Structure 1
Amino acid sequence: MSYYVPTGGLPAQSELTTGRSGRARFTTAYAVIPRGTLSDITASRLPHWDDTRLWVLARPLSGFAETFSQYVVEVAPGGGSDLPEDDDGAEAVLFVVQGTPAVTIEGSGTHQLSPGSYVYLPAGVFWALRNRGHEDAVFHWIRKKYAAVDGVVPPAPFVTHERDVLPQPMPDTDGAWATQRFVDPNDVRHDMQVNIVSFEPGGAIPFPETHVMEHGLYVLEGKAVYLLNTDWVEVEAGDFMWLRAFCPQACYAGGPGRFRYLLYKDVNRHAALDL
């Protein structure tokens, strides 16, 4: 498996302003954050995290996308946190793209992770993460306020790996478009899904999807042309797309290799009426 990993840095003074990040866009319907924008000066820090920096790709914004935040987190050897989350109502998914961090989860023990590892962390469950390896550990951290429902037991934590989750081809695509689903879509305990969507070269979403789910799409591998609202936008590994509800979307994978992205969406709950 291939996973794009940002390295920070800073463009040289001789580079064009429209070079590494010239495809950046922020509209009323979607945003594109090219990989070149993840530089040293856009990195941030968090309380209680040692030897760690992160890039914030998404956060709730009134009038735009409101359900989730997404970070790319880089933890140096020896770094990590024993108090990683300060919101008891936040659930999370971690997806590792580099290194071998270890996560300790209340009631589940300590799990050694590797690139491709996937961790679901329910709201209110204690967890900690440390990088005891010899290289930086890099992972995506997707957070959402869990929408509890009377009579529905919240889901339990789990740790898995993408090699253990079989891709499910979309109907009538001969495997050109497939999704690795880490949670059963019929399991209404979960109010979000974080999946991996893959396209073989030439594979496509052949219609403009228009739906209530918000999306965060981080390109793990390859390149494609993506329809966002009324614009066709070229994207590549390391780019992030952020879509508000009902933004039309479609895709054509340009090759020469596979095109894959990590996809967030909110699911399985009534539409809130008290915004």
Structure 2
Amino acid sequence: MTDQSAYHVPAGGLPPQTALTTDRATFTEAYAVIPARTLSDITASYLPAWTQTRLWVLARPLSGFAETFSQYVVEVSPGGGSDAPETDPGAEAVLFVVGGTLVLTIDGAEHEIAPGGYAYLPPGAAWTLHNRGTATGAFHWIRKRYQWVDGLDVPEAFVTREQDVTPIDMPGTDGVWSTTRFVDTADLRHDMHVNIVTFEPGGAIPFPETHVMEHGLYVLEGKAVYLLNRDWIEVEAGDFMWLRAFCPQACYAGGPGRFRYLLYKDVNRHVGL
């Protein structure tokens, strides 16, 4: 069972005037790194139809870079939320809760979701989200324009918890590299996967993965050295890595604790020509 307290939760605020300006923030033609401290008060955004809520936009479609998804970290204060959260009827979404307790309503059915809670919302779903508790809630909101295919039904909405999903060990790794998959990889109705990847100390991606999928990687726990294109970069809990298609990537988790991240990728569809 995963320790719920391990999920990194952004704190906002502002670095003191005595802090060094130099940081690991990087934006290149192949990848971007948004360090945890970038999620400060002055970089927060707000949305219509949401009350007592702010968010940090980590990724949005950019021509010539990553074009398939957006990713937010959302902070909902007690009493806050929305009865009309999504304005795009073609957008599907995954919500992953990292702090507090939130009430998600889908087609009239209520679900109380705490840290580790995961929800898939198909395009056109009727949903609301509210914080009825006394503590601030925080969740990741990953959105993608769904790609319909003749003969394939749209996936149904579902709610689960990371704690109830058994991680799958990557072949030949003796359990030091595993993936928590919330959707069956053989279910071609889904055109995106949002998983959690876990490395125990010493675990590694032992070759530079180079593939068509775009990625958003938010570090939930721990630290590691990550290869992005030609650069080895140290990353830690709260950092976000944003990769365009075919950006080489690998990593080494040196410890002392495990290294875990929330991973988005686009899958299961023809390449548009």
Normalised by the length of structure 2, the TM-score is: 0.98
- Residue pairs, 1:124-135, within 5 angstroms: 124-135=124-135
State the 1:67 CA deviation: 0.2
Q: 3-state SS of the aligned residue for 2:198? A: strand
**Which amino acid letter does the alignment assign opposite residue 17 of structure 2?**
Q
- Which whole-Å CA distance do the structure 1 matches of 2:171 and 2:269 have between them? 26
Percent identity between matched residues is: 75
Unaligned runs of 5+ in 1: none
Instruction: Give the structure 2 partner of residue 15 of structure 1.
Output: 19
Q: Secondary structure at the match of 1:269?
A: coil
Instruction: Write out per-residue CA displacement over residues 84-138 of structure 1, whole angstroms, 9 at most, x where no aligned residue.
Output: 000000000000000100000016x010000000000000011000000111000
Q: 1:220-245: per-residue Cα shift (whole Å, max 9, x none)?
A: 00000000000000000000000000
| Cα drift, residue 183 of structure 1 | 0.2
Amino acid at match of 2:18: S
Q: How far 1:11 moved relative to its partner?
A: 1.0
> Partner residue of 2:51?
50
Q: Which residue of 2 aligns with 1:72?
A: 73
Task: State the distance in 2 between where 1:54 and 1:220 align.
Answer: 17
User: After superposition, what is the alpha-carbon deviation per residue over 1:137-192, rounded to whole angstroms, capped at 9, x for unaligned?
Assistant: 00000000000011110000000000111010000100000000000011000000
**Equivalence for 1:30:** 31
1:218 alignment partner AA: Y
Tell me by how many angstroms 1:50 deviates.
0.4
State the alpha-carbon separation in 2 of the partners of residues 243 and 79 from structure 1: 32
The 1-side partners of 2:107 and 2:230 are apart by: 46
Secondary structure of 1:47's aligned partner: coil
Structure 1 distance, partners of 2:58, 2:198, is: 21
After TM superposition, the score normalised by the length of structure 1 is 0.97
Q: Superposition RMSD on alpha carbons, in Å?
A: 0.5
Shift of 1:55: 0.2
Residue 7 of structure 2 is aligned with which of 3, 7, 27? 3
Q: Which amino acid in structure 2 is aligned with residue 126 of structure 1?
A: A
Q: How many residues are matched?
A: 269
Q: Which string of whole-angstrom CA distances, capped at 9 and with x for unpartnered residues, describes residues 9-63 of structure 1?
A: 0111111111xxx000000000000001000000000000000000000000000
Query: Which residue in 2 is equivalent to 1:198?
Result: 198
